[in-house]
Structure 1
Amino acid sequence: MDWFLAPPTAQAASALRAELAALFRRHAREADELADAELVVSELLSNAVEHAGGPVWVSLDWSAPQPLLVVHDLGPTFELGTLSLPDVAGPRGRGLWLVSRLAGDLRVAAKRGTGKRVETTLPLTRRVERSLDPPRRRVNPLPAVDEAGPTGFGREAFLRALVVELARTADAGHGPHVTEQLVAQVGATVGGQMEDEYRRARAVVGRLTPEQVTECYLRLKSAIDGDFYVISVDADRIVLGNRRCPFGETVRHAPALCRMTSSVFGGIAARNHGDAVVLLDERIAVGDPECRVTVLLGSAARDNPGGHHYRAPAG
């Protein structure tokens, strides 16, 4: 899940803290874990708002038992060094030390452009819940294969499918992670149809090789006005960069749309290699200059605890 704070005011941070606290209360396994997690969130949001230098993006990935909180901003980076107990009489300096004590794995990294990424694993554990790896719908798939042009599906067909499938999924059910659930369903269905179009265009039968999976990704993203390019491909992973988001600059206001890329890429990879994990390493949607996406295949996916996990449908 992703949030966008612009301008990054104390009021906006307070509202987000309240939203995250409510999320934690709904899904945490133990009530006595909540206070420490909420304090970590409060300190990191306050630090980002004070030093942001522009918008702030906040991401929470709770696909593992413990949630990963990531805060992106465009302000100056800093070195953690060796954090020590600050002067208790001083008015400042306790926030990061508290985070390091409560969470224990505080990490800071400069972005390739301007700004930094601060992340930590929050000290609470999620109750077991169902996955967000929905099956591809086979009834009236959108868009139709015959709508594809010489280079694949065009933007109009893709966006129409996006809206229709989002509305269809909204009618089918609701949940605590509505936005990501909707976008994941769209990616699963539309991505499957895009794979079918690629197979027909290339006359491919059987399992797609990693190189063919990569070509399929590039074809479909180019058709909807993305600018993806290959960084590396081998037997167990595909790494792609992207210079332009198909959703344009508005994606910075709705970073949850990145789940579309994850679901499309993960579904295609899993159907052809059994298991897949998609890692959204860098994202234009959270202030990075480009996107960087890693797709792990087969055993490499099964051995990786992070990211978004996908499996081939049974049967």
Structure 2
Amino acid sequence: MEWFLDTRVAGSGSDLRHQVMDYLQRHGDPADDFAGAEITISELLSNVERHTEGVAWVSLTWSGTNPLLSVQDLGPGFDLQAALPEDHLSVGGRGLFLADRLSRGLAVRRRSHRGSHVSATLPVNRPTAADLDPPRHRIDALPAPDEARPDGGFGREPFLRALVVQLAASVEEQRGPDAAEAAVAQVGIDVGGSMENEYRAAAEVVGHLSAQQLAECYVRLKHAIDGAFYVIEVSDDRIVLGNDRCPFGDVVTRAPSLCRMTSSVFGGIAAANRDDGAAVLLEERIAVGDPGCRVVIDLAPGSHAPNPAAHHYRSPAAGTPVAEPSR
């Protein structure tokens, strides 16, 4: 990465320091000495701003374990003297000493024409990447061959469905069903919030959604993604929905954890509109061989003993629903 630094612009060095640090923190090991790296960067850039006029060029290369910061300027040039000033009470003179001590190597050379080239190896490591090379599943992998278009290749819908189903199945295989359900539940909570906002805007609803409005919201959003949900029952205490077609198709049987998506979407929206939270019971599921789905959304879970098979959702003060473990 390279940057052009105009030392005549006030604050340009500080802005560049923040950019470099943002990059290091995104890609470096969190346990490393970012404070030392920031002091080193600050001293090198401050040195340019104090002792040169005009422009400088800054680059950061990270081809090895540690990043190398280089600063080239058009100043008078100088030689490296990384030592404390003789007058210990002097205001300046400690910059290169600090940079030398905090970095993993500091070098200065005069440019052939004019100016200096200063480089510092920063005390940050790139984390060791996990070597992931899993075997390819050749049996029943998605997208299925019969989903290919006549002209070859797969359309966006089969491809995205395959990504979701295969991802959920892989998490379950590698981390277990609890991890897969937890990941899917978080996605459902977040997606459900966006879908609720869209329904509110379309229906011009302000305040808590009523039970009837919740049911309409559920059916609307599921139809939008090619589900076939319909209302069986609506009351102040609960909503019962049926479904004849899963948005993921028959392949949902390979990743039953995806049912937590439905649970979290419905439960999250309900909990955000009920002071006592909500609970969702997946009584029947296509994913486990039932002919259809039957979903019960409990809008008053605190009025009776909790169902241990239900997924419970609460609404904290911030208004963001949180999925709780099944009781």
TM tier relative to shorter chain: 0.3 to 0.5
Structure of higher RCO (CA pairs closer than 8 Å, 6+ residues apart): 1
The structure number with the bigger radius of gyration is 2
